[in-house]
Amino acid sequence: MRMLTSTTGVSKHLPDMHEGHLPIHVNNVRNKLRSIVGASTNWSDHVQAMNERKALHTLLAKNQADLPPRKMRDSHIEVILPLGSQPEIREKYLNVNNTVRFGRILEDLDSLGVLICYTHTKHEAVQKSPLSIVTALVDKIGLWKKVIHPDCDIKFTGNVTWVGRTSMEVKMHVLQLQNDVYCPMLDATFVMVARDPENKRPAFVNPLIPEGPEEEKIFKEGELNKMRRTDFNKASLLKMAPTAEERTIIHDIFLNTLDQRTVSFRSRVLPPNSVWMEDAKLKGLEICHPQERNIFNRIFGGFLMRKAYELGWATACSYGSSRPYVIAVDDIMFQRPVEIGSLLFFSSQVCYTEENFIQVRVHSEVYNSDTRQHHTTNVFHFTFMSENQIPQIVPKTYGESMLYLDGKRHFDSAMKETQP
């Protein structure tokens, strides 16, 4: 089973595509995105800016074949976060443990992923892109080190690695300068989708042509990732019954919680060193202000990820009574956009534990005060490792048992994906 380390040293091969590309300062990424789509920095101008984008419909390709193919190196970008050389930006990224806030890294990854896709689809003759590119899915993020230091420069790199008709897979890497060497901190895989200028309908993107055996292997991995996600979705416990092995796991848990002094299925007793699942929850609320908007004047997906992560971290911290370290993020699906002014509810739940690992599920939903209806926007899955031994989580109801099995599936997948 994979264990995080805190030592230095380059342990993974990273593609070298940097020729001809100058690094971008992290503060300029959002500015570049605004320029690409013609978004205003003033909230009061957002209606006019969005109306102007309607005229860009004529620039959309009618077929993918009409678009020139791209290579992986065409979309390669490097972004520098100079925490060491520019201490004045450090506080934004600093947490109370004197390490880098992982939620801020999630925000930067989300912005970078979008910029990479706009670079892939760039048309030199067009000043503003007709595409609205948004994050559809965070497929997986695997961390290689327990701690990201707040006083050393960080480099983000990434490029498009697979393309469908209207979607793109982006792989990104985060490295930190240690002893004059950039060492891998984490790897991330995002899936982005392209839509029309009004963000209403799918739009075609440039095809991708891999060069050489290594890129062909990377491209094939993108195809396999898509198939894996499809299979995982088909086997969802919201659609299919648990497997025979999973049913046995749940029944064993049930038998282990029966009160042996009674002959009753209703009498339940919590085993030693255990916690009922219903007692391992935290909730949060955000009022969605214009400050957190994206270039399309909806709530920035990176902000949603940061808030969900921080609530998930707090849940793991209170559950394990010690500082948890995130080791994996997977399967964050952006099901619907969050509008400015929404009431956004977060509900965090410990759903699976194994040894000193804690699997946390965070559910987010928006509340419409006019219709008084709640709509799910995202479900987040975080895998944490606690410094200490932790109690075992125990489901009581059938619904909690399904959460437990779903958490186990995500945990097993995260452990498999993040093995070196």
Decide if pLDDT at 32 tops 50.
Answer: yes
Residue pLDDT, tens place only, 254-308: 999 987 777 666 778 899 999 999 999 999 999 988 888 887 878 888 899 999 9
Average pLDDT over residues 47-75: 86
With a cut of 60, say whether residue 5 has pLDDT above it.
no
Nearest-5° angle of CA 369, CA 371, CA 375? Answer: 85
Q: Which of 125-134, 274-283, 344-353 has the lowest mean pLDDT?
A: 125-134
Of 7-11, 17-21, 69-73, which gets the smallest average pLDDT?
7-11
Token pair of 38, please?
């013609």
Q: What is the pTM of this model?
A: 0.88
**pLDDT at position 397:** 93
How many other CB atoms sit within 10 Å of the CB of residue 286? 19
Q: How far is C-alpha 3 from the geometric centre of its chain's CA atoms?
A: 21
The dihedral built from the CA positions of residue 307, 313, 314 and 315, taken in this order, carries a sign that is positive
pLDDT of amino acid 319: 96
pLDDT of residue 18: 45
Task: Please determine, for residue 2, whether its predicted confidence score (pLDDT) is greater than 50.
Answer: no
The Cα–Cα gap between 112 and 26 comes to 9
Between 418 and 347, the higher pLDDT residue: 347
pLDDT of residue 64 exceeding 60, the answer is yes
**Mean pLDDT, the chain, whole residue set:** 88
| 106, pLDDT greater than 90 | yes
Confidence band, pLDDT 50/70/90 cuts, at residue 6? very low
Which pLDDT score is estimated for 1? 41
How far is CA 162 from each of CA 19, 124, 137, 217, 278, rounded to the nearest angstrom?
Answer: 21, 22, 14, 11, 41
Could you read off the pLDDT of 203-234 as tens digits, one per residue? Answer: 999 999 999 999 999 999 999 988 888 888 88
pLDDT tens digits, residue range 159-205? 999 999 999 999 999 999 999 999 999 999 999 999 998 888 999 99
Dist CA 334 CA 39 (whole Å): 22
> Is the model's pLDDT at 410 over the cut of 80?
yes
